[in-house]
Amino acid sequence: MSLCRLQQQLLSDSVPPRPLIDEIVPMSNLREEYENGSAAFVNQIDSLTARGYDSVRRTRGDGDCFYRSLAFAYVERILQSPEPDFAVASSVSALAATRDSLDKAGIDKIVYEDIYDEFVGLISTIVQPNSAGKKLDSAGLLLAFQSPEMSNAVVVYMRFLTSAEIRVHRENYEAFLIHPETHEPMGVDAFCANIVEPLGKEADHVEIQALCAALQLNVDVAYLNGGSEEGVVDFIPFRYASGSESLPLVLLYRPGHYDLLIKGKQGEQELRH
Amino acid sequence: MDARLRRVNKEIADCKNDKTSNIRIELIDESPFHLKGSFPGPDGTPYEGGHFEVDIVIPESYPFQPVKMKFITKVYHPNISSASGAICLDILKDAWSPVLTLKSTLISLQSLLCSPEPNDPQDAEVAKHYSTSKSSFEDTAIYWTQIYAGGPGPKEKKGKGSSRSDVRDEVAIAGLEKAHVDQFEALGFQRSKVIDVLRRLNYRGANVAQITDDRVVEELLK
């Protein structure tokens, strides 16, 4: 190996990549990255903190961050439910029903049944001990989402749900499908095959809408984009839960990336564990 | 059992049970992660009647990473390397998604044979041939299908010596005209060298008029 390549390798070895999804960290961790840069971003971060959003759970910027963080928040919500038996049962039955829409969308059973089993299996261990006699706890959930095999299986299931929702209810989406780079309009099938189903392709408004609809979720996306000098942060609501009182899961958007945004109490609880 | 093995086993079984598709997947050795796929060349193409084999390697993180495929059978096609069998197809690269299977990927290879994309070539020389003279390209592809994939050969071209013989016609393999090769061989150059140079210069169809004899000789002298 040449000296130059050796040096490069040493350099890249010394900076380990961010985990697929990380421990909760205080907002100041994110703030530091902007302190020498954009004042608008810093002001927005401060205003989020002032609203009680004092922590963040960061994900790797691999193009799958939206799907990964949403899935994590989805399972974590079940895990933290005051009635876990009920929460698990209703999630498992809702997920079972999603298989119909995958079938309708023409997604082959062969390609989804294993990852479906893994995802449902993970959720079930919240109440049913696994083969090692252990139930899923916060640490176990983080570990599961940090292991590429489980984590990517879940991401792929999220992508299939998104794709199936768009394909099956195409009339709701087809007017809004735009190629993320060329900004040309795209057809439903090409959009799903090229932008939604492959790993590593970033999600935009349409995909968020479709996945929230497929999983019947309430989600808020907070836009940290330097768009306001005064630090105003827009929260874009996606409301698809049947029980309207369901608190939204909150994602933090920065251009090209999604993390999870966490409000005080929840963050403190997590950090204390 | 690990997820990759489970899925690959299912895919192999599914392909076996599917009597309607003409895609086959077989083991090459003991490993379920190194396979051989095969399918007939599509009708109405120069590949009709041929049997095409594909080497399949299932990577560690399949199905999250694309399967690796290359042709074992030599194929004359703009998007397939005539030397290595490497394939230029988006779904084998960044357009791969876990919704695809070995079978659907092999079907995509089969349709690639129907619809060459000379603007995104894997084999630049073959792509030039295709763009310069489609009919000459097709003759060559039919000949390759005959000698490498067991195809029927050209359809009754009178007196062109298309009867099967064990001697491979190097001029036809290179997609050239015998008269052109003879012409430069007569100047005293080695036949294999003439074939090589004329192939690289894409000495075919309308291009012939663009390339002076001096230019050819210059290349031959290099």
Structure tokens at B209: 């008029």
DSSP-derived letter for residue B99 is T
**pLDDT tier, B19 (very low <50, low <70, confident <90, very high otherwise):** confident
Q: What is the pLDDT of residue B158?
A: 44
Has residue A192 got a pLDDT over 60?
yes
Is residue A60 over pLDDT 70? Answer: yes
What tokens were used for B200? Answer: 């690289």
A41: closest CA of chain B, how far (Å): 33
Instruction: Round the average pLDDT of chain B to a whole number and report it.
Output: 92
B159-186 CB burial, b ≥16 within 10 A, e <16: eeebeeeeeeeebbbbbbbeebbeebee
Chain A residue at shortest CA distance from B14? A110
**Residues of chain B contacting A111 with CB distance shorter than 8 Å:** 7, 63, 98-101
Chain B residue with the nearest C-alpha to that of A105: B99
Instruction: Supply φ then ψ for residue B200, to 5 degrees.
Output: -65, -35
> Which residue of B61, B63, B96 is in closest CB contact with A148?
B61
CB pairs under 8 A between A and B: 48
pLDDT of residue B162: 47
Q: Quick one: closest CA in B to A116, which residue?
A: B3
Q: Which residue has the tokens 């130059």?
A: A4
Three-class secondary structure of residue B110 per DSSP: helix
A107–B99 CB contact, under 8 Å: yes
Chain B residues whose C-beta sits inside 8 Å of any chain A C-beta:
3, 6-7, 10-11, 14, 61, 63-64, 94-101, 104
Active site residue B15: no
In this structure, what DSSP letter does residue A66 have? H
Distance CA A213, CA B127 (A): 46
CB A42 within 8 A of CB A31: yes
The residues, any chain, with a CB within 8 Å of residue B77's CB and separated by 6 or more, are B47, B112, B113, B116, B123, B126, B141
Superfamily of domain B3-114: Ubiquitin Conjugating Enzyme (3.10.110.10)
Q: Determine phi and psi for A102, rounding to 5 degrees.
A: -65, -40
Return the CA Rg of chain B. 20
Inter-chain touch B99–A110, beta carbons under 8 Å: no
Beta-bridge partners for A55: A26, A262
Q: Are strands A234-239 and A249-254 parallel, antiparallel or unpaired?
A: unpaired
Q: Which residue has the tokens 């430069």?
A: B184
Q: Does A149 contact B100 at a Cβ distance shorter than 8 Å?
A: no
Q: Output the domain CATH number for residue A26.
A: 1.20.1300.20
Closest by alpha carbon to A23, among A161, A139, A184, A156? Answer: A139
* Closest-approach residue (CA) in chain A for B97: A198
Q: Mean pLDDT over residues A47-62, rounded?
A: 95
Distance CA A227, CA A242 (A): 33
User: Per-residue pLDDT averaged across A198-204, rounded?
Assistant: 95
Q: In angstroms, what separates the C-alpha of B168 from chain A's closest C-alpha?
A: 43
As a whole number of angstroms, the distance between CA B87 and CA B78 comes to 9
Contact B99 A152 (CB under 8 A): no
Question: Cα–Cα distance between A108 and A122 in angstroms, integer?
Answer: 22
Q: How far apart are CA A166 and CA A209, in angstroms?
A: 10
Q: How far is B10 from chain A (nearest CA, A)?
A: 7
Count structural domains, chain A: 1
Within 10 Å of residue B21's Cβ, how many Cβ atoms? Answer: 14
Tokens of B105: 């990927």
Q: What are the contacts of B207-212 at 24+ separation with CB within 8 A?
A: B207/B132, B207/B133, B208/B180
User: Can you give the residue ranges of every domain in chain B?
Assistant: 3-114, 124-221
Whole-angstrom distance, CA of residue A165 vs CA of residue A173: 9
pLDDT band per the 50, 70, 90 thresholds, residue A237: very high
Confidence of residue A244 (pLDDT cuts 50, 70, 90): low
Q: Which of A215, A261, A214 is nearest to A236 (CA)?
A: A261
Report the distance separating Cα A138 and Cα A272, nearest Å. 12
Q: How crowded is residue A155: how many other Cβ atoms within 10 Å of its Cβ?
A: 28
The catalytic position among B87, B88, B102, B176 is B88
Angle formed at CA A223 by CA A217 and CA A229, multiple of 5 degrees: 155
CA distance A140 to B213: 75
Range of the domain at A161: 3-272
Nearest residue, CB atoms, B101 vs list A108, A118, A153: A108
Angle at A183 between CA A177 and CA A189, to 5 degrees: 35
Residue A209 CB contacts under 8 Å (≥ 6 apart), including other chains: A173, A238
CB contact under 8 A, B3 and A149: yes
Q: How far is A109 from chain B (nearest CA, A)?
A: 10
Predicted confidence at residue B41, as pLDDT, reads: 97
Candidate from A118, A148, A160 with C-beta closest to B99 = A160
pLDDT at A268 over 90: no
- Which helix or strand (DSSP H or E) is residue B67 part of? none
Beta carbons of A111 and B94 less than 8 Å apart: no
pLDDT tens track for A106-146: 999 999 999 999 999 999 999 999 888 999 999 999 999 99
Give the C-alpha separation, A85 to A128, whole Å.
9
Exposed/middle/buried for residue A12 (C-beta within 10 Å: 0-12, 13-18, 19+): exposed
A110–B7 CB contact, under 8 Å = yes
Instruction: Give A217-236 pLDDT, tens digit per residue.
Output: 999 999 999 888 888 999 99
Angle, CA of A224, A225 and A230, to the nearest 5°: 80
State chain A's mean pLDDT as an integer: 91
Comparing alpha-carbon positions, the chain A residue that sits nearest to B5 is A114
Q: What is the mean pLDDT of residues A69-73?
A: 98
> Is B7 within 8 Å of A114 when comparing Cβ atoms?
yes
Taking contacts as CB-CB distances below 8 angstroms, the residues of chain A near B1 are none
Q: Which amino acid is at A272?
A: R
> Confidence class of residue A17 from pLDDT cuts 50, 70 and 90?
confident
To test the contact with chain B by mutation, choose from A108, A160, A163, A192 the residue with the greatest count of B C-beta atoms within 10 A, namely: A108
Alpha helices, DSSP H only, in A80-200?
84-104, 109-124, 138-146, 148-168, 170-173, 188-191
pLDDT of residue A92: 97
With an 8 Å Cβ cutoff, the interface of chain A facing chain B consists of: 107-108, 110-111, 114-115, 118, 148-149, 152-153, 156, 159-160, 163, 193-194, 197-200
- pTM of the entire predicted model: 0.87
What is the phi/psi pair of residue B79, to 5°?
-100, 15
Taking CB atoms and an 8 Å limit, are A198 and B3 in contact across chains?
Answer: no
Give the whole-angstrom CA distance, residue B222 versus residue B201. 14
pLDDT attached to residue A273: 45
Across the interface, whether the CB atoms of B10 and A152 are under 8 A apart is answered no
Chain B nearest CA to A190, separation (Å): 11
Bridge partners, A261 (sequence order): A56
